[in-house]
């Protein structure tokens, strides 16, 4: 599934609107401990997290995640969003808890 | 001088009841330490008593607390003057989530006087994360005149590397706390932008029990002390 398809199915907010949303998503990873995510994430996954520190962008880049989905009402500070745009990592906000976010990804066929 | 800049008094719920101001300072004297800091979780309220006991014994003190950021990273704020911790305490209070302590589960949070008499109890649980990012915690420490040392940076719990993957490149910390020379090498190996000579390294006990306070093995020069905290003592 492409990020753009997920966005049109869910209506989740894209906080990096200038970026290419035609990247494919293959699976997802949930986690907020960045050391853990660095060690276990896989390329092309959508990463669901509530962690909003600047380091999330470096971790997403390192693991080659397809996109970051910020869950549970958290949101990235402007300087982190700017970094995501610079590094061309699309960021979505689901606005709902991690478990609900993951369930919707499953239902959408990710 | 021999130092230990990270230990908890009986105000921290996880520290043993014997970590009283007098026991801590006298144990530091017995171990022939020259400089200590008592750094309770998210609180400076034990420091007035520790200050009185230490000054009577002629033991040098830095005044501090171990803050927990919103990312659950632990960072020590270390100040040369007791008075500088008063505005820090107000700032901490404004960023506490206000979760009541359950003594039977977490332990007691007792505030003492210089006679080791209990003069108060902290009602809110102290082992919580503040509503302030790591950057905001470091900024607050600096604003009130202190130095920020990232605590136990390679620990598997509440360390900057566990929570945030690595030490942020732009974070203006003043020192890194490690457990051993091996750990220093691991930090250097995994952070090419950190240089051994440009960094202040600290090895502290993080003692929660009297017996765990450091022996006189970790040394700091007077020059480094003055660079970080001035000539105030």
Instruction: For chain A, give every domain's residue range.
Output: 3-107
Range of the domain at B141: 3-228
Interhelix angle for B85-94 vs B134-143, to 10°? 150
Local structure of residue A108 (DSSP, 8 states)? T
SS3 of residue B227 by DSSP: helix
Supply φ then ψ for residue B28, to 5 degrees.
-60, -40
| CATH number of the domain bearing residue B16 | 3.20.20.140
Mean pLDDT across chain A, nearest whole number?
97
* Predicted local confidence at residue B231, as pLDDT: 84
Distance in angstroms (rounded) separating the CA atoms of residues A63 and A65: 5
The overall pTM is greater than 0.80: yes
Mutate to test the interface with B, among A35, A76, A82 (most CBs of B within 10 A): A35
Cβ-contact B107, B14 below 8 angstroms: yes
Residue B233 has pLDDT above 60, yes or no: no
Q: Which of A81, A52, A75, A63 is nearest to A27 (CA)?
A: A63
CA distance A24 to chain B (A): 26
Residue B159's pLDDT band (cuts 50, 70, 90): very high
Local structure of residue A41 (DSSP, 8 states)? -
Q: Do B134 and A53 touch (CB under 8 A)?
A: yes
Distance in angstroms (rounded) separating the CA atoms of residues A92 and A94: 6
What are the tens digits of pLDDT across the range B106-129? 999 999 999 999 999 999 999 999
Q: Tell me which chain A residue has its CA closest to the CA of residue B158.
A: A33
Domain-embedded: residue B50: yes
Helices then strands, counting H and E runs in chain A, come out as 5, 5
Local structure of residue A23 (DSSP, 8 states)? -
Distance in angstroms (rounded) separating the CA atoms of residues B233 and B229: 9
Query: Of B161, B162, B164, which is closest to A53 when you measure between CB atoms?
Result: B164
Domain-embedded: residue B233: no
Q: Tell me which chain A residue has its CA closest to the CA of residue B165.
A: A35
Q: Where are the alpha helices (DSSP H) in chain B?
A: 21-30, 47-57, 85-94, 103-106, 134-143, 160-164, 181-190, 222-229
Query: Of A33, A53, A59, which is closest to B162 when you measure between CB atoms?
Result: A33
Residue A9's pLDDT band (cuts 50, 70, 90): very high
Q: Tell me which chain A residue has its CA closest to the CA of residue B163.
A: A33
What are the tens digits of pLDDT across the range A28-46? 999 999 999 999 999 999 9
Residue A61 has pLDDT above 80, yes or no: yes
Tally of domains within chain B: 1
Domain-embedded: residue B81: yes
Local structure of residue B214 (DSSP, 8 states)? P
Domain-embedded: residue B193: yes
Mutate to test the interface with B, among A40, A55, A77 (most CBs of B within 10 A): A55
Cβ-contact A45, A66 below 8 angstroms: yes
> Is the domain covering A3-107 a CATH 3.40.1390.20 domain?
yes
Mean pLDDT across chain B, nearest whole number?
97
Mean pLDDT within B24-51: 98
Query: Of B71, B162, B168, which is closest to A51 when you measure between CB atoms?
Result: B71
């Amino acid at each position: 599934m492409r990020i753009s398809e997920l966005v049109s199915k869910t209506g989740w907010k894209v906080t990096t609107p200038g970026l290419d949303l035609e990247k494919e998503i293959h699976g997802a990873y949930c986690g907020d401990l960045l050391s853990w995510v660095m060690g276990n994430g896989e390329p092309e996954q959508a990463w669901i997290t509530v962690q909003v520190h600047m380091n999330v962008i470096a971790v997403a880049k390192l693991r080659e995640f397809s996109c970051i989905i910020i869950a549970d009402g958290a949101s990235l500070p402007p300087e982190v969003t700017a970094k995501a745009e610079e590094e061309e990592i699309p960021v979505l906000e689901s606005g709902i808890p991690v478990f609900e976010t993951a369930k919707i990804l499953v239902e959408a066929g990710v | 001088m021999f130092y230990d800049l990270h230990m908890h008094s009986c105000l921290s719920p996880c520290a043993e009841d014997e970590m009283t101001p007098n026991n801590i300072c006298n144990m530091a004297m017995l171990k022939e330490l020259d400089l200590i800091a008592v750094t309770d979780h998210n609180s400076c309220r034990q420091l007035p008593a520790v200050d009185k006991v230490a000054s009577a014994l002629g033991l040098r003190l830095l005044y501090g607390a171990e803050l927990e950021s919103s990312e659950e990273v632990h960072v020590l704020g270390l100040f040369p003057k007791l008075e500088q911790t008063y505005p820090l305490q107000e700032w901490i209070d404004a960023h506490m989530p206000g979760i009541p302590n359950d003594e039977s589960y977490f332990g007691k949070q007792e505030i003492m006087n210089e006679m080791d008499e209990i003069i108060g109890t902290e009602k809110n649980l102290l082992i919580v994360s503040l509503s302030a990012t790591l950057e905001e915690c470091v900024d607050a420490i600096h604003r009130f005149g202190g130095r920020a040392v990232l605590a136990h940076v390679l620990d598997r719990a509440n360390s900057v590397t566990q929570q945030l993957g690595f030490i942020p490149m732009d974070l203006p910390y003043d020192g890194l706390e490690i457990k051993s020379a091996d750990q220093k090498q691991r930090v250097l190996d995994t952070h090419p932008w950190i240089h051994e000579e440009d960094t202040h390294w600290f090895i502290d006990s993080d003692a929660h029990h009297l017996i765990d306070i450091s022996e006189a093995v970790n040394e700091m020069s007077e020059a480094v002390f003055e660079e970080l905290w001035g000539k105030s003592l």
